[in-house]
Each structure stands twice: as C-alpha cells, then as structure tokens.
C-alpha cells in the first residue's frame, strides 16, 4: 500500500489518526452488548463497557511502549561468552483473528558478544510485544529479532509454548492442544551443538526441581 493510501486508511479507521477516546470504546462495547441480545443497562452490565475498555487498554499497552526506552542503561559490557537463558516467562496476548487470549511460557537464550542485558529486561521485552494484537509466530520472531539487534549477540533463540482460547473455546475445541513456535538466529541457527544445548537447558526442571 502506497504511503498516501496508508495514511488515508489509518485516518478512515481512526478518524483523525489518533487512538479512539475512552468514551468511544465504552460506547462501542455497549452497542455490541445490545447487538448480541443483552441489555447494557441491567445491573450486572452497568460497568462492563468501562471494564472492557480498561482491559483492552492494558492488554494492548505494548503499542505505547518503546523498547529503546525500556533498555536505557541496561546494556552492560562484560567478558562473558557462555549462554544466557531466561526461561518459563509467563505471557498473555490477544489473538488478532478473534481477540481471544492465548497464553503460555516463553524461553529466551542468547550468546553474548561483549555485552549483556539486565535479566529483568528480557521478560519486559516479551511483555512489550505480547501486549499487542498478535499471532504466536510473529510474536516469537519479534522477540528474537529485537534481542539480536539490540545486543548484537552471536545468536538468539526463542521458544514459545501457548494455549489458544480460539482453539479451546470455539473452532476445533481441543482443550489440551499446545502450540510451539521457535526462532533461531545467528549461531543458534547455524550451529546444531549450540541449538541443542539451548533446547536441552530449557527442558530441564526449574530451580529446586529435580532434572
């Protein structure tokens, strides 16, 4: 889509190009409740439009977050060349196809190239991208590519395991299905030994659990 058409498309979707006002979202939710046969004026639903608006703002706050600001001051020079892994990162996201949640755990590893990132920043990067309308495949790639570019690491590996309510509650209705996606960059892709070490380590039990 050409730039002028893209700008016009955004303006058509959002009026003046800015996010909808809170009251507009609340009104849309009230209309939706009416359209499915409910009464938004009844006692149990009086505050529901406001609650839904607040929930959507929280679940999509990643659109307003900047990775560079998040990482500011958290990259440290260090003479360390072994693998760094942060695993079992809980995440929640909204499927862009049905606006239903998918959730699970993310495992991240990288091989440093003369600098590391503060460990708490890795789950925060996961949150930035998961708190947007997503598909699991793209989410996995975004996390890996962001870490690779910001760290200039020798390699990055990301594995995500998730349950999707759009598969569990509707459609095929398979409640025990887990979707697994991965993205391997640098030596994690080119060197099988490095990739195998990463996959082996993320399969081990958590701290305090027997291997």
Structure-token pair, residue 156: 């990055």
Q: Is 134 a catalytic residue?
A: no
Question: Among the options 97, 137, 175, 192, which is catalytic?
Answer: 97
SS3 121: helix
Active site residue 11: no
| CA dist 31 → 12, 27, 38, 144 (Å) | 20, 6, 10, 40
Residue 154 annotated among the catalytic residues of the structure: no
* Whole-angstrom distance, CA of residue 196 vs CA of residue 206: 18
Determine whether 97 is an active site residue. yes
Active site residue: 53, 142, 164, 183, which one? 164
Q: CA-CA distances (angstroms) from residue 200 to 59, 81, 84, 186, 191?
A: 32, 18, 13, 18, 14
Active site annotation includes 2: no
Is 106 tagged catalytic? no
Whole-angstrom distance, CA of residue 119 vs CA of residue 67: 15
- Residue 164 known to be catalytic: yes
| Candidate list 136, 142, 183, 197, residue with the active-site label | 136
Name the active-site residue from 38, 145, 166, 191. 166
Catalytic pick from 96, 137, 175, 192? Answer: 96
Write down the catalytic residue from 95, 106, 107, 134.
95
Q: In angstroms, how far is CA 18 from the centroid of its own chain?
A: 23
Encoded tokens for 207: 């701290």
Single out the catalytic residue among 38, 98, 145, 191.
98
Q: Tokens 């239903």 label which residue?
A: 100
CA 177 centroid distance within chain:
19
Q: CB-based contacts of 185: which residues, under 8 Å, 6+ apart?
A: 144, 145, 148, 155, 156, 157
Catalytic residue ranges: 95-98, 136, 164, 166
């Amino acid at each position: 889509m050409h730039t002028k058409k893209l700008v016009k498309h955004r303006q058509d979707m959002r009026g003046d190009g800015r996010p909808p006002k809170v009251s507009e979202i609340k009104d849309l939710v009230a209309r939706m409740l009416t359209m499915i046969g409910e009464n938004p004026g009844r006692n149990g639903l009086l505050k529901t439009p406001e609650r839904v608006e607040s929930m959507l703002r929280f679940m999509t706050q990643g659109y307003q977050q900047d990775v560079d600001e998040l990482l500011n001051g958290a990259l440290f020079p260090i003479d360390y060349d072994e693998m760094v892994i942060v695993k079992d990162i809980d995440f929640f996201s909204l499927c862009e196809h049905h606006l239903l949640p998918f959730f699970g755990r993310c495992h991240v590893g990288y091989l440093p190239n003369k600098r590391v990132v503060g460990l708490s920043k890795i789950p925060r990067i996961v949150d930035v991208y998961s708190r947007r309308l997503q598909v699991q495949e793209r989410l996995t790639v975004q996390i890996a590519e962001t870490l690779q570019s910001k760290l200039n690491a020798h390699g990055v590996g990301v594995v995500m395991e998730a349950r999707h309510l759009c598969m569990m509650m509707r459609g095929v209705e398979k409640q025990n299905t887990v979707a697994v996606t991965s993205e391997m960059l640098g030596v994690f892709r080119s060197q099988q030994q490095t990739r195998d070490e990463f996959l082996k380590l993320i399969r081990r039990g958590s701290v305090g659990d027997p291997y």
